[in-house]
Amino acid sequence: MSILVCGSMAYDTIMVFQDQFRKHILPDQIHILNVSFLVPTMRREFGGCAGNIAYSLKLLGDDPLIMATVGHDFGPYAERLAALGLSAKHVRRVEDQFTAQAFITTDIEDNQITAFHPGAMGSSHLNVIGDAKEASLGIVSPDGRDGMMEHTRGFALAGVPYLFDPGQGLPMFSGDDLLAMLEGAKGLTVNDYEARVVEQKTGFSMEALARRVEAVVVTRGAEGSTVYTGGTKVDVAAVKPEALVDPTGCGDAYRAGLLHGLARGWDWVKSAKLASVLGAHKIAHRGGQNHHFTREEVGAKMRSSFQETL
């Protein structure tokens, strides 16, 4: 059985601004904002939430399935999936669209400004969860609005447990939408900013939402993460990385760790510890899919950081 990863596949154009955004944005002039950032370095990476999550799962030894919609320019990404041994069985090509594109500018404090063109993601609702009969666990990560709603319903209808990871898709949904999409979920994963947005939209605290699912996991960057489950709140420390290079894709690596643990019957806290290890590996490398590790390396870091075995 496989983990079904629903979400975006995208090309990421990543630029680095060698200063702090806050020095160049005047808070009292936001209503007439007109800024330009000089970015002397730029690169293009393979990305998208589904691609990034599946990449880390593959490194862990899993055989995930990606469910996504892509455009006529997907050829180089398709070749990469084949080279990695990742199945494109449930990747649908929409010939009159571009593959999703993210344009990300990062400053020296790791703050990010992103412009995102969804392209073929708008057709993600054409993919049907029921077509992936081999799925035993899933995740609904940022994708087209209709697709995310259809996929949460599809997982629930198929009786397949799934994580709901609204991420950058949050502005597309009302509070009622979010509660409906959580209805059949195993858990909710958000970062600390997204947690505040979800609370504001739904009117429920993270603790209250955790009573609707098995667990709510809130990531907090360098401060680690918090797991709300079974009426308890457990803080999981961040793992110290070898270097702080690029936060792009760290959340996706974290979610891969959660999925890997849950697929093996681990509890939420142990799964979050593995997720923390993967996030630390990722942040030491540029892009969402350029980090490398072996299970032995991850196991050693689990032992040294948390006294846990892989």
Rounded alpha-carbon distances, angstroms, from residue 72 to 34, 47, 103, 162: 34, 16, 19, 30
pLDDT at 18: 95
Q: Does 40 have pLDDT greater than 80?
A: yes
User: Is 22's pLDDT higher than 80?
Assistant: yes
* 254-303 tens-digit pLDDT: 999 999 999 999 999 999 999 999 999 999 998 899 999 999 999 999 99
Residue 305: Cβ within 10 Å count:
17
Cβ neighbours of 134 (radius 10 Å): 12
Neighbouring C-beta atoms of residue 127, cutoff 10 Å? 21
User: What is the reported pLDDT for 220?
Assistant: 97
Burial 200-216 (b: 16+ CB within 10 A, else e): ebbebebeebbeebbbb
Residue 105: band (very low, low, confident or very high) from pLDDT cuts 50, 70, 90: very high
Q: Which residues pair with 67 in a beta bridge?
A: 6, 90
Q: What is the pLDDT of residues 58-95, one digit of tens each?
A: 999 999 999 999 999 999 999 999 999 999 999 999 99
Query: Are the C-beta atoms of 269 and 236 separated by less than 8 Å?
Result: yes
Residue 184 binned pLDDT confidence (cut-offs 50, 70, 90): very high
Write out pLDDT tens, residues 106-161: 899 878 898 889 999 999 999 999 999 999 999 999 999 999 999 999 999 999 99
Q: Which class for 185: exposed (0-12), middle (13-18), buried (19 or more C-beta within 10 A)?
A: buried
Rounded to an integer, the average pLDDT of 211-231 is 97
Domain 2-23+39-306: CATH superfamily is Ribokinase (3.40.1190.20)
- Domain edges within the chain: 2-23+39-306
Q: What was the pLDDT predicted at 191?
A: 98
pLDDT attached to residue 298: 97
* pTM of full prediction above 0.85: yes
Percentage of the chain lying above the pLDDT 90 cut? 88
